[in-house]
């Protein structure tokens, strides 16, 4: 492993790519656009999953699993959804290989084994799920259905980047069915709020909640709610989306229920998801030129203990102390790794855990044993202090809380400092070009304005913040009466 990471100020994108690899989170694989998520990276994803799963269950959802492959006729049933995803679908056309007649060591697709109907590798699961819900729903007594699935999906993207955009990615997708429009809208908003809460409390990442403009909406949705986060390079990252699907899928799949009056009606739907892209968001929100910085609530281990010693006798002494502290911390619910490997030196370990973003490091050496102290090093501030070995747990618990808060505060200040209200297009262009960040602006609600601004500046409407109090407000671009206050930014 090389010693240094490219600096963010030199090349942000290179910094990110190197960081993901050097911190042991993920790497590119032999499959185009698909990544291998390595154990340390997967451990973070598991932490995210565990917490989200708890939150989904608290809001009344159950997990289930639907097939990876979707028959083409089902996939095309909801027109807009099909059209939106058609360009990036992997398709299974055959079910068998055979050895090549010209070269027995090679395999070729057996032309005899062509499928009568192609199977689409799911880019999202609405189709297969709604086709299933059709069989599950007859009466209002069958509603609501609130299901989540943890799965992989595939979207054949042109250009991929580890975690931010890969051809295959892991995510969760919630799919719910409701009696009324109001209930479905409420559900979509609720889940967007759950995402926002997760981002802020666990990822320590401030987000802006809003809804998408029509052009940025999910294919097949009536309304898309989203959370947007600002990365350190001033670009926005869509961190989660929650869709109110209206009756579009119910109509496409003929999902009707008998209501309390005995009349048949189409059900109302939502879907919502967050993906391994959250890993990218987490990495970019807090990390620095020394490597990853993780919030304590999502770190695979919150504390690492590094022993320092010259000989076996010292090691035994230090190791005893370390194990006592480790047990005590574990008893307090803190995850601790004691790195007693003799194959690497302390300095190497310090650098390594800094790269991996472990929130707190405890070093214990002969001097500490003498003085009854340990050295405590914070990853977020890179500061070190000596604390009494008698109450390490108390100090650690307090410090971990501080770190979690500090990361949020830092990110929040960054977002606030890089969010500007702008009402002149000239200022807007200069801001997007030179500073980067969120721009709050009034918008006339037209797709033309949106499109032109995108063409001229590469900034897009990340979300609509509000549609109230627009009396006398003018669109920054067209000067026409404003229909909404929106957030613009260049996006990932």
Partner RNA sequence: CGGGGCGUAGCGCAGUCCGGUUAGCGCACCUGCUUUGGGAGCAGGGGGCCGCAGGUUCGAAUCCUGCCGCCCCGACCA
**Six-digit token string for 375:** 């050295």
- By CB under 7 A, the residues from 211 to 240 that bind RNA are 218, 238
Residue 143 or 349 with smaller CB distance to RNA? 349
Q: Write the Ramachandran bin of 246: left for phi over 0, alpha for psi from -120 to 50, otherwise beta.
A: left
Segments in 87-180 forming alpha helices (H): 126-136
Using CB under 7 A as the binding rule, whether residue 292 contacts RNA is answered as no
Of 32 and 96, the one with the shorter C-beta distance to RNA is 32
For the segment 27-46, give every residue that binds RNA (CB under 7 A).
Answer: 28, 32
Nearer Cβ to RNA (22/483): 22
Examine residue 365 and tell whether it contacts RNA (CB under 7 A). Answer: yes
Q: What angle do CA 346, 46, 124 make, to 5 degrees?
A: 140
Q: Residue from 2, 9, 102, 105 that binds RNA (CB under 7 A)? A: 2
User: Is 352 a binder of RNA (CB under 7 A)?
Assistant: yes
Q: How far is the CB of 70 from RNA (least distance, A)?
A: 17
For residue 256, the Cα-to-chain-centroid distance in whole angstroms is: 34
342 SS3 class? coil
Give the per-residue contact string, 372-391, with RNA (x = CB under 7 A; - = no): ---x-x----x-x-------
DSSP labels for 59-109? TT-EE----SEEEHHHHTSSHHHHHHHHTT--EEEES-EEE-SS-TTSEEE
Q: Are 436 and 231 in contact (CB under 8 A)?
A: no
Q: Collapsing DSSP states into helix, strand and coil, what is residue 45?
A: helix
Task: Using CB under 7 A, pick the residue from 189, 351, 389, 470 that binds RNA.
Answer: 351
**Helix 277-286, helix 392-417: angle, nearest 10:** 90
Single residue of 166, 242, 287, 399 touching RNA by CB under 7 A? 166
Compute the half-sphere exposure of residue 277: CA atoms within 13 Å on the CB side of its CA: 23
Site map for RNA, 9-28, x if CB under 7 A? Answer: ----x---x----x-----x
CA distances from 168 to 33, 90, 137, 276 (A): 7, 10, 31, 10
Chosen residue from 311, 331, 333, 426 binding RNA by CB under 7 A: 311
> Given the rule CB under 7 A, which of 203-211, 260-268, 305-313, 323-331 is the region that contacts RNA?
305-313
How many other CB atoms are there within 10 angstroms of residue 122's CB atom? 25
Work out which of 277, 286, 297, 321 binds RNA, going by CB under 7 A: 277
With DSSP H G I counted as helix, E B as strand and the rest as coil, what are the percentages for the chain, rounded to 5? 40, 30, 35
Least distance between RNA and beta carbon 238 (Å): 4
Among 75, 133, 169, 272, binds RNA (CB under 7 A): 169
73 touches RNA (CB under 7 A): no
- d(CA 478, CA 444) in angstroms, rounded, equals 7
H helix and E strand count, the chain: 14, 25
Report the residue number, 328 or 340, with the smaller CB distance to RNA.
Answer: 340
Nearest residue (CB) to RNA, 354 versus 450: 354
Q: Please say which residue, 290 or 446, places its beta carbon nearer to RNA.
A: 290
Shortest distance in whole angstroms from residue 286 CB to RNA? 17
- Count Cβ atoms below 10 Å from residue 417 Cβ, excluding itself: 11
Query: What does the block give as tokens for 384?
Result: 């070190």
Let me know: does 475 contact 442? Beta carbons within 8 Å.
yes
Check binding of 260 to RNA (CB under 7 A): no
Please report, as ranges, the residues that interact with RNA according to CB under 7 A: 1-4, 13, 17, 22, 28, 32, 84, 87-88, 155, 157-161, 164-167, 169, 218, 238, 241, 275-277, 290, 308-311, 342, 345-348, 350-352, 354-355, 361, 363-369, 375, 377, 382, 384, 458, 491-492
């Amino acid at each position: 492993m090389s010693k240094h990471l490219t600096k963010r100020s030199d090349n942000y994108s290179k910094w990110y790519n190197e960081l993901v690899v050097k911190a042991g989170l993920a790497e590119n694989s032999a499959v185009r656009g698909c990544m291998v998520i390595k154990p340390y990276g997967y451990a973070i994803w598991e932490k995210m999953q565990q917490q989200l799963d708890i939150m989904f269950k608290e809001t009344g959802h159950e997990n289930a699993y639907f097939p990876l492959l979707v028959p083409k006729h089902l996939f095309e049933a909801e027109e807009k959804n099909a059209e939106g995803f058609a360009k990036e679908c992997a398709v299974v056309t055959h079910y068998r290989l055979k050895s090549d007649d010209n070269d027995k060591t090679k395999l070729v697709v057996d032309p005899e084994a062509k499928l009568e109907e192609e199977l689409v590798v799911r880019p999202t699961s609405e189709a297969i799920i709604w086709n299933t819900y059709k069989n599950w729903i007859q009466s209002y007594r069958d509603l609501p259905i609130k299901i989540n699935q943890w799965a992989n999906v595939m979207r054949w993207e042109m250009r991929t980047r580890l975690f931010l955009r890969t051809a295959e990615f892991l995510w969760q997708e919630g799919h719910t069915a409701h009696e009324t429009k109001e209930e479905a809208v409420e559900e979509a908003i609720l889940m967007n709020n759950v995402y926002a809460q997760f981002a802020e409390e666990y990822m320590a990442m401030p987000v802006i909640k809003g809804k998408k403009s029509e052009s940025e909406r999910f294919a097949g949705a009536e309304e898309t709610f989203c959370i947007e986060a600002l990365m350190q390079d001033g670009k926005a990252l869509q961190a989660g989306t929650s869709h109110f699907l209206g009756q579009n899928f119910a109509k496409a799949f003929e999902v009707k229920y008998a209501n309390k009056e005995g009349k048949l009606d189409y059900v109302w739907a939502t879907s919502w998801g967050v993906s391994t892209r959250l890993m990218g968001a987490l990495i970019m929100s807090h990390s620095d030129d020394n490597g990853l910085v993780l919030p304590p609530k999502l770190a695979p281990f919150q504390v690492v203990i590094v022993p320092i010693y010259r000989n076996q006798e010292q090691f035994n002494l230090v190791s005893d102390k370390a194990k006592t502290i480790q047990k005590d911390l574990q008893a307090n619910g803190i995850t601790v790794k004691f790195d007693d490997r003799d194959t690497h030196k302390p300095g190497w370990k310090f650098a390594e855990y800094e790269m991996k973003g472990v929130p707190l490091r405890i070093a214990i050496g002969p001097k500490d044993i003498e003085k009854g102290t340990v050295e405590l090093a914070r990853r977020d501030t890179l500061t070190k202090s000596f604390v009494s070995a008698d109450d390490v747990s108390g100090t650690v618990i307090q410090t971990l809380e501080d770190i979690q808060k500090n990361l949020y505060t830092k990110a929040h200040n960054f977002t606030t400092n890089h969010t500007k209200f702008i009402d002149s297009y000239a200022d807007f262009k200069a801001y997007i070009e030179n500073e980067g960040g969120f721009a709050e602006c009034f918008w006339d609600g037209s797709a033309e304005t949106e499109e032109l601004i995108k063409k001229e500046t590469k900034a897009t409407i990340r979300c609509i913040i509000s549609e109230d109090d627009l009396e006398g407000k003018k669109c920054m671009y067209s000067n026409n009466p404003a229909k909404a206050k929106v957030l613009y930014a260049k996006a990932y």
